[in-house]
Amino acid sequence: MTINDVKHISLPKILDVRGNLSFAENHAQVPFEIQRTYWLYDVPGGECRGGHAYRETEEFIIALSGSFDVVIDDGENKKTYTLNRSYYGLYVPKGLWREMENFSTNSLALEFASTKFCAGDYVRDYDEFLKMKSNGEI
């Protein structure tokens, strides 16, 4: 996987004077079967989240409120995505290093994952990630 496999996906937006509505379904807007969801909130100013890669887990990230940056790194190149609309999702395949930073006040990051939580799926050491990437292990 490389940064070119990341997809910034426009979600359906049902405009309504009563308030807008967006949605995401398995194997449609979300290109995998959702096994888990979690969310990041109350992130203090200046804090970063992420700082790891997954061996198998694919993720789909939505900025439900506020804004933040997702920095994707494939070991050779990096790309920063600013998420600041609740009708866009960022698809992040497995095997990529990610950091999340520049959280605005009251931002809310919703994440869908393709796996149940498994601590062993994480690669948290960047040098190990680079080694695994160059060996084709991740």
Binding site for ligand TYD (CB under 6 A): 36, 38, 40, 49-50, 52, 117
Residue among 49, 52, 79, 85 flagged as catalytic: 52
- Residue nearer to ligand TYD on the CB measure, 10 or 125: 125
Q: How far is the CB of 77 from ligand TYD (least distance, A)?
A: 21
Does the active-site annotation cover 52? yes
- Residue nearer to ligand TYD on the CB measure, 13 or 24: 24
- Residue nearer to ligand TYD on the CB measure, 1 or 48: 48
In 3D space, the residue among 135, 126, 132 whose CA is nearest the CA of residue 78 turns out to be 126
Q: How far is the CB of 116 from ligand TYD (least distance, A)?
A: 8
Q: How far is the CB of 54 from ligand TYD (least distance, A)?
A: 9
Q: What residue is closest to ligand TYD based on CB?
A: 49
Catalytic residue numbers?
52
